[in-house]
Structure 1
């Protein structure tokens, strides 16, 4: 794959509510529709506020409305993240609001649909539901940092329109009815606009794998390159194309050695390597129903998969 620039980027809720949009300045909830049933451990009195500090579940600079519906939202105190018109949030990257161990699940057409629970260092938990895609298969776990991509917004399970259902829970599993994100507390009966500072600058790469690979691609696997980066495998189910991108997490903005490669079984390997500021790739190959070997490197840290993902 030819390389022309060290700095490249592919440009890129719950149901639409009957809000009273004219009252934006007050950010006061007008109506509380009935929500889909949630899995067990949602009852009981408040177990206390979470000790963990949480950022928004979206990428840096994104602003969405956190809606804590009163009456009929199950569980009470959970947040529905939506855009102003209830539509633009569809397909948005979902990130961990704090570090911990993520577990991935899929309840099919009921309740949460595709969802992730993250158990944080103090035993508290967050949940992210109705996802369109997840970066791991159901039943798998992943150690995540604050800002790690875990999936994309969708409308799976008991959902009528794209949105992100989000919960903060204490160590006993009880829902915090006044969750705080980005320092903004959203109590029952409120909706507030929240701007994300998650994955902003510093040691966090401002780009995501889906932004680099483009529309239609979803992360299906990833591997850490020590502390210096991470390489990702994405797939487009509509076209049968695979895509690999390697993101740096150190020396951001400064060109340094990065690579990404993809090799369908029985075919030659395609590699993109060079001195890049943020990432290598995208390396794309069409390989429907074919096993692939993939990986990448940042500096001396590298990863090479076996032939896998053969479906």
Structure 2
């Protein structure tokens, strides 16, 4: 079976590497020739456009930066002659996903809504969480490929858009965890507590969360700020999550404040920075850094 892959950025490339390593015959497209080169060297077919990928592959994956790009690419893919299943891995929100699914349905193409969680490092390690929604026959067809990508594959429904909502629920919690952990750690550092010891205490206590257990030790205490996702991407997902809440008349008092902090970070020029760099905004206000102290 020939499989297409559109979008070889940080996340897309890592996912496509997993598929290619498993022996999948890939047809790839990305406007960045540098991103394409390693895949072509390993035997992938470099196609000239999304339409060309859809003319060559029955299953096409897309991992793209935002809803506007996703919808534009989907318009091209819908004209393809071979594609029968379109796997949208981008986090774009359920309204955009619904428009794509409707367009594909008109052309006899089934859409699987399939965002992932775990970042590029998780993708390369094969430990992603894969969230998928769509018609069961298409899920059955694509499931072996998804199992090559992720350790946990959750099938959350038959309707495209449900997986988008699940991903955004997760990312709203993730964004809030990071914001509150960063704020509290800055407070402790300002009061003279050892940052690394604070994290050790928290991680065996009730305040622990994914930020304190993973992101802070790896990318904040070390000062590397290289966890693997941009601040702008997190802000995008928070905004999409709040839009889902507004559409359903769900009040989001806490996450409204969380969105303001992430937006302020982007306005301070950190949009392209790693999302762990958000703590620098809080550190700047307090005049302190949350970093591991050198050994005495």
Q: Which of the two has greater helix per residue?
A: 2
Larger relative contact order (CA 8 Å, sep ≥ 6): 1
Per the normalisation by structure 2, the TM-score is 0.25
TM-score by length of 1: 0.24
Structure with more strand by fraction: 1
